[in-house]
Amino acid sequence: MEVLDHAPLSERIPAFGEALRLAPEGEREPLALRLFELASAARAPMRDGALGPVELVTRWPSRRRVRWAERAMLELLSGWDRVPDPVRPLASGLARERWLAAARKASESPDPGVRASAARFAEDTADPGLAGVVSGLLSDEHQAVRLHADRAMLRMAMTLLAHLPEGVLGAEFGEIAARPTVRLSADRGVLDLERVELCRHIADASWRFAEHRCRSPLIAALLILDRLPGGTLERSVASRIRRLLKESGHPSHSPLRTVLRRTPSPLLRERALRWIVIDPVRVVCVDRLASAESIEEHEILLSRSYLALRGARGARLRAVRPTGDREHAPVPPARGYQQLSPAARRGMVRFVQLIGLEDEARRVALEPTLADADPLVRLTGSHAAHPADLSDYTFDPVESVALSAATRWSTLGVPAPQAGSGAWSRRTQVATLLRRSPHRSVRALAAAEAERLDPLGATPASRLTARRLLERDPNAFVRLVREGFADPERVLDALMLVRALRMGERFEMDLVELASTAADDRVRATAVAALGTLASEPAGRTVRAALNAPDQRVRSNAVEAVPACDPVLLEFKDDASHRVRASAVRRVLTDHAAADPPAAAARVVAAESLSRMLTDDRAEHRLSGAWAAERVLCPQRRELLGPGWRGLVHRVAEAAEHDADTRVRLRAARCVRRLETLRGAAA
Judged against a pLDDT cut of 80, whether residue 343 lies above it is answered with yes
Residues in the chain: 683
The residues, any chain, with a CB within 8 Å of residue 173's CB and separated by 6 or more, are: 154, 158, 161, 223, 265
In the predicted structure, residue 54 carries a pLDDT above the cut 60: no
164: left (phi over 0), alpha (psi -120 to 50) or beta: beta
Per-residue pLDDT at 179: 87
CB-based contact 302:289 (threshold 8 Å): no
Count the helices and strands in the chain (H runs, E runs): 41, 0
Going by pLDDT thresholds of 50, 70 and 90, the confidence category of residue 523 is very high
Output the furthest CA–CA distance in the chain (Å, rounded): 157
Residue 377 near residue 302, CB atoms below 8 Å: no
Higher pLDDT, 209 or 334: 209
Distance (Å, rounded) from C-alpha 339 to C-alpha 167? Answer: 13
Query: Are 523 and 492 spatial neighbours (Cβ–Cβ below 8 Å)?
Result: yes
d(CA 542, CA 527): 10
pLDDT (mean) for 327-342? 86
CB-based contact 318:289 (threshold 8 Å): no
Please report which confidence band the pLDDT of residue 62 belongs to, taking 50, 70 and 90 as the band edges: low
Mean pLDDT, all residues of the chain = 85
116-151 pLDDT, tens per residue?
999 999 999 999 999 999 999 999 999 999 999 999
pLDDT range class, residue 228, cuts 50, 70, 90 = low
Q: What is the pLDDT of residues 417-476, one digit of tens each?
A: 888 788 888 989 999 999 999 999 999 999 999 988 888 888 888 898 899 889 988 998
**Phi, psi for residue 441 in degrees, rounded to 5:** -65, -35
255 Cα distance to chain centroid:
37
- Report pLDDT digits (tens) over 68-119: 778 888 888 888 888 888 888 888 888 888 889 889 999 999 999 999 999 9
What DSSP string describes 91-130? GGGS-HHHHHHHHHHHHT-S-HHHHHHHHHHHHHH--GGG
Tell me the pLDDT band of 680, cut-offs 50, 70 and 90: low
CA-based torsion, 12, 13, 18, 20: positive or negative: positive
Give the Cβ contact number of residue 214 at 10 Å. Answer: 23
User: What is the rounded CA–CA span in Å between residue 215 and residue 205?
Assistant: 10
- Contact (CB, 8 A) for 557 and 521: no
pLDDT attached to residue 42: 52
Handedness of CA 395, 400, 404, 410 (dihedral sign): positive
pLDDT reported for residue 345: 94
For 265, phi and psi rounded to 5 degrees? -135, 120
Please give the Cα distance from 593 to 618 (Å, whole number): 31
Instruction: Read off the pLDDT band of 44 (50, 70, 90).
Output: very low
pLDDT for 525 equals 93
Q: How confident is the model at residue 162 (pLDDT cuts 50, 70, 90)?
A: confident
What confidence score (pLDDT) does residue 79 get? 85
Q: Which phi-psi region, left, alpha or beta, contains residue 49 (left: φ > 0; alpha: ψ -120 to 50)?
A: left
Per-residue model confidence as pLDDT tens digits over 263-314:
988 989 999 999 999 999 999 999 999 988 889 999 999 999 999 988 899 9
**pLDDT attached to residue 4:** 54
> Of 65, 84, 132, 138, which is closest to residue 105 (Cα–Cα)?
132
Question: What DSSP line would sit under 646-666, residue for residue?
Answer: HHHHHHHHHHHHH-SSHHHHH
pLDDT score, position 123:
92
pLDDT tens by residue, 389-400: 889 999 999 999
Q: Which of 386, 381, 353, 359 is nearest to 368 (CA)?
A: 381
Q: What is the chain's Cα-based Rg?
A: 49
**pLDDT recorded at residue 568:** 81
The predicted structure's pLDDT at residue 412: 81
- Amino acid identity, position 109: S
Q: How many CB atoms lie within 10 A of CB 572?
A: 24
Q: How far apart are alpha carbons 66 and 638 in whole angstroms?
A: 134
- What integer is the mean pLDDT of 200-227? 89
Percent of the chain with pLDDT over 90: 37
440, 478 in Cβ contact below 8 A?
no
Question: 228 by DSSP, 3-state: which?
Answer: coil
pLDDT in tens, 629-671: 888 888 777 777 777 788 888 888 999 888 899 999 999 999 8
Q: How confident is the model at residue 57 (pLDDT cuts 50, 70, 90)?
A: very low
Is the C-alpha dihedral spanning 197, 202, 205, 207 positive or negative?
Answer: negative
pLDDT of residue 45: 45
C-alpha closest to that of 237 among 267, 198, 275, 210 = 198
